[in-house]
Amino acid sequence: MSQQFDVVVIGGGPGGYIAAIRAAQLGKKVACIDEWQNAKGGPAPGGTCTNVGCIPSKALLQSSEHYEQAAHHFADHGITVSGLKMDVAKMVGRKDTVVKQNNDGILYLFKKNKVSFFHGRGSFVKADGGLYEIAVAGEKPETLVATHVIVATGSNARALPGAPFDEKLILSNDGALNIADVPKKLGVIGSGVIGLEMGSVWRRLGSEVTILEAMPTFLGAVDEQVAKEALKLFTKQGLKLQLGVKIGEIKTGKKGVTVAYTDAAGAEQKGEFDKLIISIGRVPNTIGLNTEAVGLALDERGAIVVDADCKTNLPNVWAVGDVVRGPMLAHKAEEEGVAVAERIAGQHGHVDFDTIPWVIYTSPEIAWVGKTEQALKAEGRAYKAGSFPFLANGRARALGDTNGFVKFIADAVTDEILGVHIIGPFASELISEAVVAMSFKASAEDIARICHAHPSLSEATKEAALAVDKRTLNF
Ligand code: FAD
Ligand code: NAI
């Protein structure tokens, strides 16, 4: 016998589980299907983000940062550490515990909000009389019938042709989060977000990390001034970044992985690594969804085609998160999930794509919202920019973390904030103020006139806003 629901969500990552909870809050009868399995074969909702993405990477970044602090920076505070050791198995075990706490938290939230959870793969069977039949292939096969379907099936790591992930030598994000011993030499292809975050983790623990990047410019989407500072600091930390390379043959052997590549000067090179992480972007995932059964339209990249409201080509079928256009970020997926649930309930859910923040959790962290200086130049828009270095911020000095700066860009005439770019301590937290300000269409002067606690890193934000008008007080 099939079970009937107002809303069936396929995929329990941040897009899907949040959509399910919001729809349930709005009084809908909701099911969420997710196929992710933990090591024991049990359910592990939370998707890429919880299992092999945001959460585990931040757990390892935190552990490795503690290690680096103890090894290199505690001495500045008069703290001597002797016999410092890294137990990688324990670090990875802690990361697994953090992941499990999040999986369990989502199962609890489903219960609390009366969302029916189904563990297994969901696929379209047919559309019939305005309803959709969805099969769940799991331990207990089920058939669900839905008035509305939200597809939130996420994305998978993109492989390089001829170098499939074996997760032992050639690693996707999954294997990169589960390395058992610190590799002596770690190769990374792609200097994007994953390459820099995972490269930082293993470098801090002692790996010699080489990152091979195809583009001639570093972090092209980031404000140029920030990207330049980041390149300088990461290189100083010991990351070997090679830009403008062309990857050739990748071979695995008993001793590790060999990567043939042409460097920026055109010379043939060979990199020998104990392990290789390939982080060259991700592809939308519709594997096993049986989109053909109902005629759900995909684009040439395999993403589900949606309009600005996340409506697909089919009535009452919606799609959110990494499986559709736009940035592949957990908070973007969540916002779309909430907006779709609200639209289903007859409300006017909205996502402001212009104020989605980005964060790279390296040290220093990099965070931004809105437009970069180079993008505004290309648009020909008149702007004013001002920045303030953490070196001149009292709290940053007390922390012993003075690298980087906050930069504001505002419209030359109206002073409306167009972009805020931060490289420095806790940039991930500081960026929220800029997101709020931009969401309320604030001017740089609005931020400059607001009282910020002293001593705090947020004073650098206020000072950068003052810098737009060339009147910093502490620099
Ligand atoms: P996913 O999280 O991929 O979830 C999709 C879920 O659907 C999965 O559980 C999958 O098993 C399930 N599924 C797929 N098909 C089916 C099916 N047919 N039936 C049932 N279930 C199915 N983003 C950030 O914002 N901040 C970060 O710090 C960050 N760090 C990251 C670090 C790494 C290493 C990686 C790889 C990604 C990171 N991301 C980060 C990106 C973030 O993880 C994704 O943007 C986010 O998970 C997308 O959410 P989603 O719900 O669209 O898809
Ligand atoms: P990415 O898009 O961030 O970076 C990929 C990099 O690989 C680019 O610099 C690209 O030029 C390079 N590249 C592509 N093909 C190449 C080739 N053949 N040879 C060499 N270099 C090549 O992708 P990444 O790092 O895989 O991450 C995927 C997505 O996951 C990110 O875009 C982001 O949306 C999400 N993510 C977000 C995080 C965060 O918010 N902190 C952390 C990690 C991932």
Residue 203 CB less than 6 A away from ligand 1: no
- Whether the pLDDT of residue 140 is over 90: the answer is no
Answering whether pTM is above 0.85, one says yes
Number of neighbouring beta carbons within 10 Å of residue 323: 28
pLDDT digits 0-9 by tens, 4-18: 999 999 999 999 999
Give residue 358 CA to ligand 2 midpoint distance, Å. Answer: 13
- E strands in 333-394: 358-360, 365-370, 383-389
Q: pLDDT-based confidence at 458, cuts 50/70/90?
A: very high
Question: What six digits make up the tokens of 363?
Answer: 């040290």
Task: Tokens 């859910």: give the residue.
Answer: 349
DSSP H/E element including 200: helix 193-204
For the chain, give the percent of residues with pLDDT over 90.
99
Pick from 36, 38, 51, 54 the residue to mutate for probing ligand 1's pocket: most ligand atoms within 8 Å of its CB: 54
- Helix/strand/coil (H, E, C) string of 30-77? EEEEECCECCCCCECCCHHHHHHCHHHHHHHHHHHHHHHHHHHHHHHH
Structural domains for the chain: 3-157+283-351 (3.50.50.60), 170-280 (3.50.50.60), 355-468 (3.30.390.30)
Segment 312-324, tens digit of pLDDT: 999 999 999 999 9
pLDDT at residue 377, as a whole number: 98
If one compares 2 and 316, the residue with the highest pLDDT of the two is: 316
Q: Please say if the pLDDT value at position 326 is more than 80.
A: yes
Report which ligand 1 atom has the smallest distance to the Cα of 121: 19
Q: Are 154 and 322 in contact (CB under 8 A)?
A: yes
**C-alpha dihedral, 174 to 359 to 363 to 377, nearest 10°:** 130
pLDDT > 70 fraction of the chain, expressed in percent and rounded: 100
Which protein residues touch ligand 2 with a CB less than 6 Å away? 160, 189-195, 197, 212-215, 247, 279-282, 327-329, 359-361
Residue with the nearest Cα to atom 28 of ligand 2? 281
Segment (H or E) for 93? helix 88-112
Nearest residue to 468 (alpha-carbon basis) of 382, 374, 369, 384: 384
Helices and strands of the chain, counted as H and E runs: 13, 22
Confidence bin at 334 (pLDDT 50/70/90): very high
Q: Inter-axis angle of helices 193-204 and 54-68, to 10 degrees?
A: 40
pLDDT at 443: 98
The arithmetic mean of pLDDT across residues 22-40, rounded, is 97
Q: Is 395 in the pocket of ligand 1 (CB under 6 A)?
A: no
Which ligand 2 atom is nearest residue 157's CA? 26
- Provide the annotated active-site residues: 454
Residues 154-178, mean pLDDT to the nearest whole number:
97
Atom of ligand 2 nearest to the CA of 212: 20
Sign of the dihedral through C-alpha 200, 201, 205, 210: negative
Say yes or no to pLDDT of 306 above 90: yes
Residues 304/312, Cβ–Cβ less than 8 Å = yes
- Report helix, strand and coil shares of the chain as percent, to nearest 5: 35, 25, 40
**Distance from residue 282's CA to the centre of ligand 2 (Å):** 7
Give me ligand 1 centre to Cα 339, in Å.
18
